[in-house]
Chain A
Amino acid sequence: MFSRAYRIAITVPPLAWVTIFLLVPYLLMFCFSFWSVSSAQTIVHSWTLDNYKQLFTKDVYWETLLRSMWIAARVMVFSLALGYPLAYFLSFYAGKRKDLLYQMVIIPLWVSYLVRAYAWKTILGSDGVLNTLLQYVHLTRHPLDFLLYSPFAVVLTLTHIYTPFAFLPIYAALEHIPRNLVEASNDLGASPAQTFWRVIFPLSIPGVVAGATFAFVLSLGDFLAPLLLGGPSGIMISNIVVTLFGAAYNWPLGAAISLCMLVLVVSLLFLSERLEKKWNFS
């Protein structure tokens, strides 16, 4: 139906841009990961597997990666725990206020990440709102240390940031469930609880998988929250990469880690896509 000129016009420019600014950079990252750094702080374009060897042998990298994954996993679980019931409530019980409430969930999403992370910092600090509040009502006598500069702070902040991300696909999936299925289930004698577990939840699984993936992947790659709130015990893998591109000046090694992260993320995406297709019944 469309002329050749039209088709060229709509495919070539984006293809070109995407190739230059997305594909080539990834390829470059791949190349960089095999190069090395000379003592004169320049990048030597000689091919070596050194970076990867370092990656897989030095403990610090593994530990940090595992810690990052553990943090990401917790964020994922908590965001789902917060996001799912919220989505369920909005979709099935909110009635007229559904739209307004939905907007209210979306709004924090678009409020600057930095702002929100900073807000938590002010709350959790030893002089911060939470500590002074607790002391004010005499629940504690000294500021609680673990609140800030700890993995706890990172998990808390990231959960706060990514719960709306988890909420959105779950809500969309729940909205897609035809209401006559719920009626049919009731008609056949299932109580609301039974209806939820046998009909609603299974049909919402694609949304849950999508939400979980978002929360996990984005948390895994986060470096800002750990920098602001993580302290020494809350360092995540991305922080290591940042230093490698900054003060520690080892781009190739950083590229190697980034590439691993990229591969990890893409595999997770594939996995999650598989799962979603499997559980998609519409």
Chain B
Amino acid sequence: MGSTIVSISGSRIESSAPGTTPLLTIRHVAKQFGKNVVLRDISLDVAEGEFLTILGESGSGKTTLLRIVAGFESADSGELSMMGERLDRLPPYKRKVNTVFQSYALFPHMTVEQNVGYGLRVARVPSAEVDSRIEQALARVRMTAHAKAKPGKISGGQQQRVALARALVNRPKLLLLDEPLSALDANLRRQMQVELKSLQREVGISFVFVTHDQEEAMVMSDRIALLRTGELEQVATPREIYSRPATAYTAQFIGHTNLLRAEVRGGRAHCESLSWGVGLPDGQAAFSVRPEDVRVVGPGRPAVDGVVRFRGKVQHRAFHGATELVRVVAGDGLVFSVRTTGMDGREEVECEFSPADAVPVRDSAERS
């Protein structure tokens, strides 16, 4: 699954792997509510069978984008097409797209069974087929035992599965999920993340998943589209977005990072007392170094050529189970987060990182 990251300004087309026809194309979609510009010039492709997550903070426009695809909002400009046909001209009930709502939106006056069968009955699918498809859908989300219950009587997690079944039973080409796991507690969430992912694989349709939780996005997605105040910051696979963040924002939003602002002179980056070799032109630059790429050096180990070393005081240690995240303040005031697997109770440490792990990122200015 490929992706292309283009410049931060102007239009960018984040497409799926070359050679395949995308399922959904979003082109230059913009939307504002009154004076509030929520989406600026969004262009994105969704491939068939892919699990794409739209990730962003609240206010980033991610839910609005989803609602535009579902049909509950209309874009001010731009177009949407699905399999070559214009989607944005159709009302929601004519689109082959189904949504799992954040609040599940189950019909309180119908049983689980009736909820799941709603879309089929409305489309006048023959009764026998309806029954068998409902059965299948309920089995898939393991809610068969609760078929005759009313939504008010089942738990949040169960409601969520019913909402999923209700959407999937219609065999849509595209399933939209609006932060469906946000109301669940942590353990259930993790479990559902795995279930959703395997469900998607099983069913084989495209999922577009909206969330603000970057861990969730990393765990589940084939690709992540990071949305920031109405614009796409980066669209890439989780691995790529983590190890090659395009901007400082991305680097800091996804996982922990150390952001080093340096001046490049003559092929070397200088950040306070540290310097290392880079192949960049002179000027200001920013680098992202992941905490796990910063190593605590054992006493007496010589520095390998090119490696950047520094000394510092341990300010804070956070226990994360398998690892510890240690905050080290270097002599010249630089603060590093260092991830180690077990460290003795030293107060003074020596750390190092390789220049190769210092990923250059664009330090984009704050956008309104």
Residues of A within 8 A of B (CB): 178, 180-181, 183-191, 194, 198-199, 202-203, 279, 281-282
Taking a contact as CB atoms under 8 Å apart, the answer to whether A183 and B92 are in contact is yes
| B3 contact set on A, CB distance < 8 A | none
Closest chain-A Cβ to B91's Cβ sits at a distance in Å of: 7
| A181 contact set on B, CB distance < 8 A | 105, 107
Q: Can you give 30 A-B contacts (C-beta < 8 A)?
A: A178-B103, A178-B105, A183-B70, A183-B92, A183-B99, A183-B101, A183-B105, A184-B99, A184-B101, A184-B106, A184-B107, A185-B122, A186-B72, A186-B91, A186-B92, A186-B93, A187-B70, A187-B93, A187-B97, A187-B98, A187-B99, A188-B170, A189-B93, A189-B170, A190-B93, A190-B118, A190-B119, A191-B122, A199-B107, A281-B152
CA distance A180 to B107 in the complex (A): 10
CA distance A60 to B167 in the complex (A): 62
| A194 contact set on B, CB distance < 8 A | 122
Closest chain-A Cβ to B186's Cβ sits at a distance in Å of: 25
Tell me the nearest residue of chain A to B92, going by C-beta.
A186
| B99 contact set on A, CB distance < 8 A | 183-184, 187
Taking a contact as CB atoms under 8 Å apart, the answer to whether B122 and A189 are in contact is yes
CA distance A102 to B4 in the complex (A): 54
CA distance A264 to B62 in the complex (A): 57
CA distance A186 to B67 in the complex (A): 12
The listed residue (B72, B103, B108, B119) touching A188 by CB distance below 8 A is: B119
| A180 contact set on B, CB distance < 8 A | 101, 103, 105
Taking a contact as CB atoms under 8 Å apart, the answer to whether A281 and B118 are in contact is no
| A190 contact set on B, CB distance < 8 A | 93, 118-119, 122
CA distance A128 to B119 in the complex (A): 55
| B367 contact set on A, CB distance < 8 A | none
CA distance A203 to B109 in the complex (A): 7
Determine if B61 is an interface residue (Cβ-Cβ < 8 Å): no
Known: A183-B92, A199-B107, A203-B109. A188 touches B71 (CB 8 A): no
Taking a contact as CB atoms under 8 Å apart, the answer to whether A188 and B98 are in contact is yes
Closest chain-B Cβ to A105's Cβ sits at a distance in Å of: 27
Determine which residue in B71, B93, B99, B170 has the highest number of CB atoms from chain A within 10 A of its CB, and name it. Answer: B93
Residues of B within 8 A of A (CB): 70-72, 91-94, 97-99, 101, 103, 105-109, 118-119, 122-123, 150, 152, 166-167, 170
| B109 contact set on A, CB distance < 8 A | 202-203, 279, 281
Determine which residue in A185, A187, A202 has the highest number of CB atoms from chain B within 10 A of its CB, and name it. Answer: A187
Sample of 12 further A-B pairs with CB below 8 A, known A184-B106, A184-B107 = A184-B101, A185-B122, A186-B71, A186-B93, A187-B72, A187-B92, A187-B97, A187-B167, A188-B118, A188-B166, A190-B119, A198-B122
CA distance A189 to B71 in the complex (A): 11
CA distance A180 to B99 in the complex (A): 11
| A178 contact set on B, CB distance < 8 A | 103, 105
CA distance A164 to B122 in the complex (A): 34
The 4 closest A-B pairs by CB, nearest first: A188-B119, A281-B108, A184-B105, A186-B92
| B107 contact set on A, CB distance < 8 A | 181, 184-185, 199
Closest chain-A Cβ to B168's Cβ sits at a distance in Å of: 11
CA distance A171 to B7 in the complex (A): 52
Taking a contact as CB atoms under 8 Å apart, the answer to whether A282 and B119 are in contact is no
| B98 contact set on A, CB distance < 8 A | 187-188
Taking a contact as CB atoms under 8 Å apart, the answer to whether B118 and A198 are in contact is yes
| A185 contact set on B, CB distance < 8 A | 107, 118, 122
CA distance A181 to B118 in the complex (A): 12
Tell me the nearest residue of chain B to A199, going by C-beta.
B107
| B93 contact set on A, CB distance < 8 A | 186-191
CA distance A157 to B133 in the complex (A): 54
Tell me the nearest residue of chain A to B178, going by C-beta.
A180
Taking a contact as CB atoms under 8 Å apart, the answer to whether B70 and A189 are in contact is no
| A184 contact set on B, CB distance < 8 A | 99, 101, 105-107
Tell me the nearest residue of chain B to A184, going by C-beta.
B105
| B101 contact set on A, CB distance < 8 A | 180, 183-184
| A191 contact set on B, CB distance < 8 A | 93, 122
Taking a contact as CB atoms under 8 Å apart, the answer to whether A282 and B72 are in contact is no
Taking a contact as CB atoms under 8 Å apart, the answer to whether B70 and A188 are in contact is no
CA distance A202 to B119 in the complex (A): 17
CA distance A276 to B22 in the complex (A): 50
Closest chain-A Cβ to B152's Cβ sits at a distance in Å of: 7
| B71 contact set on A, CB distance < 8 A | 186-187
CA distance A101 to B150 in the complex (A): 36
CA distance A266 to B72 in the complex (A): 46
| B152 contact set on A, CB distance < 8 A | 281
CA distance A180 to B103 in the complex (A): 8
